[in-house]
Amino acid sequence: MSTTLTAYLDRLGPASESARPATENLDDAPITLASQLRASRLEWQAAALVAVHLLETLVMLASWACVGYGALSGRLDAGWLAAWALALGTSVPLRAAATWLQGVVAIGFGGILKQQLLIGALSMDSDMIRAKGTGELMSEVLEAESIDGLGASGGIATILASLELLVAPFLFMWAAGAAAEIGVIIGWGLLAGTLFVRDLRVRTQWTRQRASLTDRLVENMTAHRTRAVQQPAANWHDADDAALERYLAKSRRLDQGVARIMALIPAGYVIVSIAALAPSFLTRSATLGQVAITFGTILFAASSFERLCFGYSQGAGAWIAWKICEPILNAGRHARSPAVIDVRDRPGNTTVQARGVSFCHEHRRESVLFDCNFTIERGDQILLEGDSGSGKSTLATILAGSRTPSEGYLLAGGLDRHTLGDAAWRRHIALAPQYHENHIVCGTLIFNLLLARAFPYSPDDVDEAQAVCRELGLGELIARMPAGLHQIVGDTGWRLSQGERSRIYLARALLQKAEVVVLDESLAALDPENLRQSLECIMRRSPTLIVIAHP
């Protein structure tokens, strides 16, 4: 049920007057991974790396062809030596260029990936964060490191080794037993691919088991006090021991597969390809030059297979980590462009309008909200009361843009969120979530208060934050702090009581300077005196106010 806040405040005492704040601009960063790659020209640099490496390989092969032909012909004259030296000297700057380009591509891709992960983390849906929990999110963050550390180097090594293997069949065309050798290298490539696919499945299970250990560790640390009181000490680590046993079993299976790949593919190829050359020896149908080309190409292909296995072992881990972190990366795709429209400049007195708004959680059949219709005018002060589970908090998150209605539409100043963009919507409607979904970030108090403001903060921003804190009764707290507003707060800094945290959350929402302020049970932790003082400040500083509370 909905009532006016004036009647609620009358039970606490009279309110005083204060001025209303101006506005603050917030910007979105609607940048996808593909657009970042195009903007950084990294695709062209990767193509240049492939071209330079391919040219370096051909020049190196040409250098050994020159010296080999001269030696096998029985006359190693100055011309062949000069050609060999020229080709060998040319390969040096090509190798340097390839190494430089490899570093540029690896560093560039790593930087772009970090940006996209940050965009995705800031754009994640609140329901997804709640469903994953702290432990799973921590494990995904740790896995994201392997994408940057191993993905670029492993992926580049795999691509370059594959290019070398594509060159090898053309070299066998001038070698002894060309058809047999080409068949062997193609068959060995298929065998390597089969082993890679099998190993990828095992490695995926091992990685997910490792991530589950991180998830379990973090969740057990969070619930340590509860376990210490409620669970017998003898049973604390039963589930952990079973999980470790499963992890060790998967680790042994993974190690066996990796050893099989690293030993069988390069060395096995040499044995099989030399065996395929045996008929040419027995029939004596090959010349000495053809035999030399065959042996040289076999060693070249074996070296390429070895680099391919090494690159795969790194690239596979990065690919699995990519799939694990894919929800975070995909979350950034939904970021919207910043709006150029300020809805407060639009004519009319209606600030929020809802028509037929319904919401149903994913994988659930019943709607939390159904066919909600309401209009909020500028200057309204609304108290929304309802039983637990009636959908009050869901409505608050829909108003703030954290959730999208399953049906119906919601307008701010006559425009929907898709038209306005997330930044303009947040500038119009500010939400202070429930206590368990609101947090003090480890940093200075002023940083926590002015999260919505652009950094560096102006003197006016700091003065306004100081004034809001005094009006909310936090002046004594700030005076006790040695560094005042610049004191580090949080779990590793100045400890705050629940009531102090609640008032900082209120100040943070007010300093966002939105047209509509939504407080979701933000006053429950305050004693009557602080409640009266805080509510007076909120009503003075909020152009339009919605307070959600239990009846």
For the chain, what is the largest distance between any 2 Cα atoms, rounded to a whole number of angstroms? 110
Give the rounded percent of residues in the chain with a pLDDT score beyond 90.
19
Q: Any idea of the CA torsion for 407, 413, 419, 420, to the nearest 10 degrees?
A: -120
pLDDT at 31: 58
Residue 120, pLDDT > 80, answer: no
**Confidence at 509, pLDDT banded by 50, 70, 90:** very high
Residue 263, pLDDT > 80, answer: yes
pLDDT at 33: 67
Q: What share of the chain is helix, strand, coil (3-state, %, to 5)?
A: 65, 10, 25
How many other C-beta atoms lie within 10 A of the C-beta of residue 281? 13
Higher pLDDT, 148 or 366: 366
pLDDT at 332: 64
Instruction: Give the orientation angle of helix 126-146 with respect to helix 288-331, to 10 degrees.
Output: 150
Rounded distance, CA 343 to CA 428, Å?
A: 7
125-133: long-range contacts, CB 8 A cutoff, minimum separation 24 = 125/331, 125/402, 125/403, 126/397, 126/402, 126/403, 126/437, 127/361, 127/362, 127/403, 128/327, 128/331, 133/215, 133/219
pLDDT at 289: 76
Average pLDDT, the chain: 81
- Three-state DSSP state, 115: helix
Higher pLDDT, 546 or 495: 546
Average pLDDT over residues 246-275: 90
Average pLDDT over residues 194-223: 86
CB distance 305 to 192 below 8 Å: yes
**Confidence at 24, pLDDT banded by 50, 70, 90:** very low
Average pLDDT over residues 300-329: 84
Residue 39, pLDDT > 80, answer: no
Residues 6 or more apart whose Cβ sits within 8 Å of residue 267:
302
Strands 443-444 and 2-4: unpaired
Tell me 150's DSSP state: I
**Confidence at 11, pLDDT banded by 50, 70, 90:** very low
**Confidence at 334, pLDDT banded by 50, 70, 90:** low
Average pLDDT over residues 31-57: 79
CB distance 129 to 436 below 8 Å: no
Higher pLDDT, 259 or 220: 259
Rounded distance, CA 224 to CA 249, Å?
A: 27
How many other C-beta atoms lie within 10 A of the C-beta of residue 448? 22
pLDDT at 99: 83
The residue type found at 328 is I
Per mean pLDDT, which range of 2-11, 12-21, 54-63, 451-460 is the poorest? 12-21
Higher pLDDT, 239 or 513: 513
Buried b (16+ CB within 10 A) or exposed e, 232-243: eeeeeeeeeeeb
pLDDT at 441: 85
List of domains in the chain: 2-28+340-549 (3.40.50.300), 174-324 (no CATH)
Residue 3, pLDDT > 60, answer: no
Rounded distance, CA 384 to CA 372, Å?
A: 14
pLDDT at 18: 35
CB distance 316 to 196 below 8 Å: yes
**Confidence at 151, pLDDT banded by 50, 70, 90:** low
Query: Does pTM top 0.85 for this prediction?
Result: no
CB distance 508 to 449 below 8 Å: yes
Rounded distance, CA 458 to CA 452, Å?
A: 13
Residue 336, pLDDT > 70, answer: no
Residue 226, pLDDT > 60, answer: yes
pLDDT at 426: 83
Rounded distance, CA 160 to CA 9, Å?
A: 72
* DSSP sequence for 366-390: S-SEEEEEEEEETT-EEEEE--TTS
**Confidence at 42, pLDDT banded by 50, 70, 90:** confident
pLDDT at 455: 84
Average pLDDT over residues 45-70: 80
Handedness of CA 79, 81, 84, 88 (dihedral sign): negative
Buried b (16+ CB within 10 A) or exposed e, 43-52: eebbebbbeb
Nearest in space to 516 (alpha carbons), one of 443, 428, 432, 395: 428
CB distance 210 to 321 below 8 Å: no
Residue 48, pLDDT > 60, answer: yes
Higher pLDDT, 72 or 444: 444
Q: How many residues does the chain have?
A: 551
pLDDT at 17: 37
Q: Is the bond into 456 cis (omega within 30 degrees of 0)?
A: yes
- Three-state DSSP state, 545: strand
Lateral strand order in the sheet of 2-4: 2-4, 381-385, 544-549, 516-520, 429-432
**Confidence at 22, pLDDT banded by 50, 70, 90:** very low
**Confidence at 550, pLDDT banded by 50, 70, 90:** confident
Rounded distance, CA 525 to CA 502, Å?
A: 7
